[in-house]
């Protein structure tokens, strides 16, 4: 069969058949009486083998090895094809994501498109300074989804702070997108999610932080409690008390409890919870000292009575701390 007929029947162009011939992949094995090269049945079967292998993504070099190298290992080639296919899919997915983000930003013209593309590239830069500048410029320029994803993956504390600032001013679906990060496998991602939520104002973020008080991750619970306490949410009180006892951001937790205790309706509740922790079991001296310090800013007789008891504690440091707090509450700062 001559090259034109082979091309017509196989769907492989005559030009590509000549290329195969030049590479030694398929060389016509016969000749006509006029001297033209003629493809045999075996040659045509080899052409179809080549096309089948190419459809899997093999290069012509790999096709030749697969057909002619007796020591060729198909499994290695398949593994390599899987790897390259995954890389290609990842690249194409990244491109699709970028295009969707550009579309979501509703660019007005090509200049706007180029600006958005530049910001997206800067947010993914290896330079922390470049990422930080991009975050500070991104409010209203890129979809909030972009900022949320960047905040969840950002390890640099300065860039992370800039991204949280941008998210707090972007509105939209930011809280819901960050809430997805609370279920991440990586602890650092969960921490970034709750810290970002803590800086977003509004009822939606507050509701998500309330839910986070029941999270299995103690760090997430702690950040949520501090943020809620600063917003005046009483639900945070038990977790804040736990933080004081457990020495997890205990100073910040005690400060927030003190602020909440300025509300008469909460002061006694906070004092009772702190006293219950003192009476509920044997605490180390360091924990009793932290509780004494936390009681300092809680008004009322319940707190004062607890401090009076602690002023006689067997541990000298606890007793001195409680006695000092009592003198402050009485307005007596003279040297004992």
Name 132's Cβ contacts closer than 8 Å, sequence gap at least 6: 156, 158, 159, 162
Mean pLDDT of 105-129: 77
Residue 91 pLDDT exceeds 70: no
pLDDT value, residue 201? 93
Dihedral (Cα; 173, 175, 176, 180), 10-degree rounding: 130
Residue 336 pLDDT exceeds 50: no
**Strand-pair partners of 322:** none
Q: What share of the chain is helix, strand, coil (3-state, %, to 5)?
A: 70, 0, 30
Question: Between 26 and 230, whose confidence is greater?
Answer: 230
pLDDT value, residue 190? 97
Residue 60 pLDDT exceeds 60: yes
How far apart are alpha carbons 288 and 277 in whole angstroms? 9
283: left (phi over 0), alpha (psi -120 to 50) or beta: beta
How far apart are alpha carbons 191 and 226 in whole angstroms? 13
Residue 37 is inside which H or E element, if any? strand 37-38
pLDDT digits (tens, 9 = 90+) for 182-230: 999 999 999 999 999 999 999 999 999 999 999 999 999 999 999 999 9
Mean pLDDT of the chain: 86
| Contact in structure between 197 and 209 (CB atoms under 8 Å) | yes
Least confident of 13-17, 59-63, 93-97, 251-255: 93-97
Question: Which structure tokens are listed for 332?
Answer: 């007596």
4-12, long-range: CB < 8 A, 24+ apart: 6/39, 6/44, 6/47, 9/44, 10/44, 10/47, 10/48, 10/51, 11/51, 12/47, 12/51
Residue 34 pLDDT exceeds 90: no
Question: Residue 24 — φ and ψ, nearest 5°?
Answer: 80, 15
Comparing CA positions, the residue from 155, 179, 156 lying closest to residue 167 is: 179
């Amino acid at each position: 069969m001559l090259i034109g007929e082979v091309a017509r029947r196989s769907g492989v162009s005559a030009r590509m058949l000549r290329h195969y011939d030049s590479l030694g992949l398929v060389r016509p094995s016969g000749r006509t009486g006029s001297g033209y090269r003629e493809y045999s049945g075996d040659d045509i079967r080899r052409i179809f083998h080549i096309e089948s292998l190419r459809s899997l993504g093999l290069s012509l070099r790999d096709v030749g090895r697969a057909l002619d190298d007796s020591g060729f290992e198909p499994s290695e080639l398949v593994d390599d094809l899987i790897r390259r296919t995954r890389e290609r899919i990842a690249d194409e997915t990244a491109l699709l994501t970028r295009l969707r983000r550009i579309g979501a930003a509703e660019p007005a013209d090509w200049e706007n498109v180029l600006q958005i593309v530049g910001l997206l590239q800067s947010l993914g830069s290896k330079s922390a300074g470049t990422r930080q500048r991009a975050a500070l410029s991104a409010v209203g320029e890129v979809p909030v989804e972009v900022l949320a994803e960047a905040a969840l993956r950002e390890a640099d504390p300065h860039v992370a702070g800039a991204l949280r600032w941008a998210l707090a001013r972007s509105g939209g679906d930011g809280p819901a997108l960050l809430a997805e990060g609370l279920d991440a496998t990586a602890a650092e991602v969960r921490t970034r999610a709750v810290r970002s939520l803590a800086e977003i104002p509004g009822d939606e973020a507050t509701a998500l932080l309330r839910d986070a008080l029941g999270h299995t991750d103690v760090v997430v619970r702690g950040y949520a409690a501090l943020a809620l306490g600063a917003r005046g949410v009483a639900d945070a009180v038990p977790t804040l008390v736990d933080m004081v006892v457990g020495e997890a951001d205990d100073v910040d937790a005690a400060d927030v409890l003190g602020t909440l205790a300025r509300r008469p309706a909460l002061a006694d509740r906070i004092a009772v919870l702190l006293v219950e922790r003192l009476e509920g079991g044997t605490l180390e001296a360091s924990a009793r000292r932290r509780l004494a310090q936390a009681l300092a800013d809680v008004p009322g007789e319940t707190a004062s009575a607890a401090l009076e008891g602690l002023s006689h504690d067997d541990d000298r440091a606890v007793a001195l701390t409680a006695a000092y707090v009592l003198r402050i509450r009485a307005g007596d700062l003279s040297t004992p």
